[in-house]
Each structure stands twice: as structure tokens, then as C-alpha cells.
Structure 1
Amino acid sequence: MKKEIIINTFTEFQDQLVDIKRTCLCRGAGNASYVLTPSLFRFGVSSDIDKIESDMMWFFKTQAKAHLQRLPESEIEWLAIARHHGLPTRLLDWTLSPLVACFFAVSRRPDTDGVVHLYNIDRAERQEAIDLKKLKVITAYFPTHSDKRLTAQSGMFTIHPTRQPTLHSGKVKKIIIPRAAKKDILELLVKFGIHHATLFPDLDGLSNFIKYLIVSR
């Protein structure tokens, strides 16, 4: 199996999905040069990552409690909430839906080629089974779907230990989507109900979908 392939149509994209597992993790990015490294390790700090993460999470927890209807039950759930709201963490977002991943690849950065990463995993852990202090390898897990966006996007995470921040490309298949193909593929995804309003079921998602409809008509 080729580890990297270029497609130009939605049909060609579908052809690449025939052999993937139901547990395949998918991630779309608007820029084909994207590296599979969580935001914590791309934060511009090269030393003492663990302490920096600890300090950020401590401050986040002290201030976030006033904004949450239900407090997280574990450290990994805290990380997921922090990631959702833009704080750099050791979590990397994935989806079980290749169409959702394709949307993120073609709906952003119209000036450059996009990419969908496919990562076939043998198993995923339950969230409560992960001990962050003993984490030694990149681990996929099923998150608690306490957020509407996470549910709508069939969201999954990989969590990355400090000593292994990047998921190496040898384990991942890359589907490159040229920038010239993005517009047509996006239009098809919208027809299939894959768009901002369905993947972001809130007023922000609705507003972005309305903007797309106006600009693209």
C-alpha cells in the first residue's frame, strides 16, 4: 500500500477508503505539510514541557470551574476540555469519519494543497483506562462525548507522551488533495450534509455555514 497518494476527485478519495478499518482514525488539514504533532509540542517551547503543561493546566482549572456546568472527573478529561477551548495540550484531534476529515482538508486554506491522514489502529483504550503518569507510547482513546461538537464530528484523540511527540508518517497513509480540487469536493460534501452547521452544532457553526452559502452561490 502506498503511504502517500494524490487524488483529484471525490470518487478517487472514496476509492482510498475501501480497505480501511472501522477503527481507522482520520484527520484532515488544510495544509498538506502538516505534521502529526499536538499543539503542546508546537507551542514554541523546547524545554521542560511537562512543567509548562502542568502550570497551564493548573491555571486553566482554577479559572475554568466557574464556566463549567459539570466538572471533569479525570485529568485526561480536563485536557480534552482545555484542547477544545484552544489551550495547547498533548492531545491530537481525530475523527472516525473520513468524510469529516475530508471536510477539514478542503474547507480551509484554499491557497494550498490539503491532506487527509489515515491511521489504522488495532485498538483504542477507554478514557478511564489511561494513566497519564505511565504513558510511554502514543495511545488512541475514546473520549467522553460531553461536547456536542465532539459527538457531531465522531471525535477521537491520540495522546502523546513527552518522549514521543510526533506520530511518524510510516504508520500513516496520506491522501493529498490539490488546492484546485478543494472547491468541487467541498461542494459535494455540503450536498451530503457535511458542513459547518452539522459539524459545529451551535450558532458559530450556523453563521459560518450561512457565510459559505452566500459566498459560494
Structure 2
Amino acid sequence: MNEVRISTWNELQSQLFADSWNSELGRFRSRYAFRGLSDAHYHLETTLIRLGGNYADLERHLLRNFKKYAHRNVVKGDSIWHWLSVAQHYGLPTRLLDWTYSPFIAMHFATANIEKFNLDGAIWAVNYVKTHQLLPDKLRYKLEQEGANVFTVEMLSESVKSLEELAKLTSDHFTLFFEPPSIDDRIINQFAFCSVMSDSTKAMDEWLENHPELWVKIIIPAELKWEIRDKLDQANITERVLFPGLDGLSHWLKRHYSPKVPA
């Protein structure tokens, strides 16, 4: 079973750090990407898919106009991967999906919305090393050449010049993970990276169904959310840290002082 329902804080920690021992290094180094969702029924859909309508055809128009109207100094380089990273960061609907290396930050996003505390949450954990073993030869060799487990935008820029080229690398659908540029402290503090699929119309959980060896979905029961939230706050995993600035501070204070309601 790829879905695991936990019932305690300790069970959640054990599940999130399972398989993190790396015998070659003699260190605990997880190879999982984590994504927290406030509602366990949410799909791994990109903001582009959630845009609705004829979104696949609109993707190039969105990016073209973003590039046209954005300040040129927001992007160091002119590759599609730099532009996608910046566009995603500032809220443009894209085919990217946000992930984090940190299970605690994933826990934050699963429990940040107190209006969803009556619903089970979830944390998806996807093994990005095993995911990259399914890449087309050109991309897999690039990782091997660099001795890396995850792409940078520079590595992708050297390998794939456009989204059209990405889709033509193979007839099979695939997913890759890459680290965006450190545009600001938000990306750094969230220990963030992104996934992108070769087919913009495919939700990642739909693709993962055919690759059960890659993932686990941890279900967080609604009745456990308050305990997790309070312990994360004490550990300083809050909006004030993850979204530096007055907006993050305001979101943290609003949530922190909101009355507790039954799950």
C-alpha cells in the first residue's frame, strides 16, 4: 500500500524519515521530495492545470507575456527554466509543482490552513533519485556527468532549450526535479525545489499511479492537526520564517491567535 495513515506525532516522524539511511555515506540523507496538502483529497495538480479551460494551449501565451512585461533584471539568463522558475515564484500559472527537501516544511503546508482542520491532510513523499532513473538518456547522462541527484536551471538550460524539446525527448511521459535559483529568502528558507512533467496536461499523481515504487502518501488525520501545528510553531516552522516579510508575519499572527475549533 502506498497510502499510510498515521495516528500520532511519533508515527509521523518515523514515516517521514523512513529509508533516509544512506549506507554508502554512513549518513542519514533522505532522497525524498515532500509536498504537504491541507486536504488529503487534493491532487498533485499544477497551477496551470487548475487554471482550467484550454490551459495547455495558453501556457506559451502566459509565458510570452510574462517575459514581455516583467522587469528584465528579475532573471539572470534568458532560458526557459529561469523564466519558469521566476514565473512560478511570483504566482503565474505554470506546469511546475513546488516541493521541499524538508519534511517539517511539508508538515507546515499540510497544517497551515486552519479552515481545513476538519479535513484529513496529506504529505506526499517522492523518491527523486529513483524518479530520475526513468529519465530519457540525454537527461539521465547529464545528471551522471555532473554527479548530481537533482538538476539546476543551468544544467537544464544546457540540455533542453524549450518545453517543446522536453516533450520530444521520448514518447513516454516523465518527471524531473530541479532547484530554482535562490531568488529570495523564501526559496532558501523553504528548502524548495520543483518538479516538471514532460506533459503539461498530466497531474503528477496520475503519473505516479504507474510507478508505485517511487512514492508514499502519508495521511494526517484531522484530529492530529492541532498537535502537529502547535509543535511546529514551537519549533519555529512558521509563516514568519518561511515567508519573510510583513505578509508572512501577518499570516503567522492571524493563525497563531485564532481560536481553536474542534476537528
* Common fold by TM > 0.5: yes
1:69 is displaced (CA, Å) by: 4.6
| Runs (5+) with no aligned partner, structure 1 | none
Cα distance in 1, alignment partners of residues 240 and 127 from structure 2: 28
Q: Match for residue 140 of structure 2?
A: none
**Number of the residue aligned with 2:135:** none
Contact 2:179 2:194 in 1 (8 A): yes
Query: What CA distance in whole angstroms lies between the structure 1 residues aligned with 2:54 and 2:198?
Result: 15
* TM superposition outliers: structure 1 runs of 4+ over 4 Å: none
Counterpart of 1:71? 75
Asked if the contact 1:107–1:182 (Cα under 8 Å) also holds between the matched residues in 2, the reply is no
Residue deviations 1:125-156 (CA, integer Å, cap 9, x gap)? 22222213432421111211112111110001
Alpha carbons 1:138, 1:164 under 8 Å: kept = no
Aligned residue for 2:35? 27
Alpha-carbon shift at residue 59 of structure 1 (Å):
1.3
Matches within 5 A, 1:158-169: 158-162=195-199, 165-167=202-204, 168-169=208-209
Matches within 5 A, 1:1-217: 2-16=1-15, 17-20=17-20, 21-46=29-54, 49=56, 51-65=57-71, 69-73=73-77, 74-108=79-113, 109-122=116-129, 123-130=149-156, 131=160, 132-136=163-167, 137-162=174-199, 165-167=202-204, 168-169=208-209, 170=212, 171-216=214-259
Output the amino acid matched with 2:220. Answer: I
Distance 1:127 1:64 in 2: 19
| Alpha-carbon offset, residue 96 of structure 1 | 0.2
Whichever residue aligns with residue 25 of structure 1, its letter is A
C-alpha displacement of 1:46? 4.4
User: Is residue 5–residue 175 contact of structure 1 (8 Å, CA) maintained in 2?
Assistant: yes
Q: Distance in 2 between matches of 1:31 and 1:6?
A: 14
Where does the alignment leave 5 or more consecutive residues of structure 2 unmatched?
Answer: 21-28, 130-148, 168-173
Contact 1:106–1:114 (Cα < 8 Å) also in 2 = yes
CA separation of 1:163 and 1:195: change in aligned 2, threshold 3 A: closer
Distance 2:39 2:82 in 1: 29
**TM-score w.r.t. structure 1 length?**
0.89
Range 12-21 or range 142-151, more displaced:
12-21
Within 2, Cα distance between the matches of 1:30 and 1:36? Answer: 12
Superposition TM-score, scaled by structure 2 size: 0.75
Distance of 1:90 and 1:163 partners within structure 2: 6
TM-align CA RMSD: 1.9
Preserved contact between residue 38 and residue 160 of structure 1 (Cα < 8 Å): no
Say if 2:101 and 2:193, in contact at 8 Å, map to a contact too. yes
Distance (Å, rounded) in 2 between the aligned partners of 1:88 and 1:158: 14
